[in-house]
């Protein structure tokens, strides 16, 4: 494409940014730095075959494990991921950065989707809504690269990562929560609550 020709702007479909994710080789060190900067406290979870079903990476069934920490600050979720085992886009990112890590993806809520232009939001049908969002990305040339379904105390959270890295130098994610979503118990809180 000639540099003199501006591309046409696609209709918005992503919604607003709801999460920023830092991928790291050292979870506790990164969390310590974030807490020192005023971001936190974090709840730490372990994503593995027992907690995340339907695991896929690059279009194939996969088995991966990731330690994941979440903190919500002023309506924004900060996520920190440390790959533990298996093939993941997070480990590939660490490998590309010489294990330095950094911001690997941002997640969008898709809530600007309007009926007629992009189809109805599907409420509690997390699989149907995830399929609709996947279609939106793939119709723009961004294939799915990793996905899974995190099991809550109640409900499901379907997460999908798309290959936007080559186009925008970061990965885009979308997350679909069922209406009855309740997060499972964390394996650890960081920093530990004071009594």
pLDDT for res 134:
94
pLDDT band per the 50, 70, 90 thresholds, residue 4: low
Residue pointed to by tokens 């650890």: 188
Cα angle 10, 111, 79; round to 5: 100
CATH 3.10.180.10 is the classification of domain 17-178: yes
pLDDT for res 115:
40
Q: Which H/E stretch holds residue 14?
A: none
Where on the phi/psi map is residue 175: left (φ > 0), alpha (ψ -120 to 50), or beta? beta
pLDDT for res 1:
46
Give residue-wise pLDDT tens across range 130-181: 999 999 999 999 999 999 999 999 999 999 999 999 999 999 999 999 989 9
> With 0-12 CB in 10 A as exposed, 13-18 as middle and 19+ as buried, what is 7?
exposed
Query: Rounded to whole angstroms, how far apart are CA atoms 17 and 15?
Result: 7
pLDDT, the chain, mean: 90
pLDDT for res 93:
97
Query: Rounded to whole angstroms, how far apart are CA atoms 190 and 70?
Result: 10
Residue pointed to by tokens 């309740």: 182
- Residue ranges of E strands in the chain: 17-23, 42-47, 52-57, 60-61, 65-73, 76-85, 102-108, 144-151, 156-162, 171-177, 188-190
Tokens of 44: 């730490």
pLDDT for res 120:
44
In the chain, what are the domain boundaries?
17-178
pLDDT for res 192:
84
Higher-pLDDT residue of 121, 188: 188
> Is the alpha carbon torsion for 144, 95, 19, 80 positive or negative?
positive
Whether the predicted pLDDT of 20 surpasses 80: yes
pLDDT for res 13:
86
Query: Rounded to whole angstroms, how far apart are CA atoms 150 and 182?
Result: 11
Q: How remote is the C-alpha of 12 from its chain's centroid?
A: 19
Query: CB-based contacts of 3: which residues, under 8 Å, 6+ apart?
Result: none
Higher-pLDDT residue of 168, 11: 168
Whether the predicted pLDDT of 70 surpasses 80: yes
Q: How many of the other CB atoms lie within 10 Å of CB of 168? A: 10
């Amino acid at each position: 494409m000639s540099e003199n020709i501006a591309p046409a702007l696609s209709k918005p479909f992503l919604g607003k940014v709801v999460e920023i994710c830092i991928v790291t080789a050292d979870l506790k060190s990164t969390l310590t730095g974030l807490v020192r900067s005023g971001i936190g406290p974090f709840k730490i979870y372990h994503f593995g075959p027992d907690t995340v079903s339907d695991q896929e990476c690059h279009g194939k069934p996969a088995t991966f494990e990731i330690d994941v920490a979440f903190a919500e600050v002023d309506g924004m979720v900060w996520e920190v991921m440390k790959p533990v085992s298996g093939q993941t886009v997070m480990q590939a990112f660490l490998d590309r950065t010489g294990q330095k890590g950094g911001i690997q993806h941002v997640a969008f809520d898709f809530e600007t989707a309007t009926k007629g232009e992009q189809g109805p939001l599907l409420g509690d049908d997390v699989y149907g809504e995830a399929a609709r969002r996947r279609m939106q990305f793939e119709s723009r040339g961004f294939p799915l690269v990793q996905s899974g379904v995190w099991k809550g105390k109640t409900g499901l959270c379907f997460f999908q990562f798309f290959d936007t890295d080559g186009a925008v130098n970061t990965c885009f994610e979308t997350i679909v929560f069922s209406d009855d979503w309740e997060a499972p118990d964390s394996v650890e809180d960081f920093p530990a609550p004071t009594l």
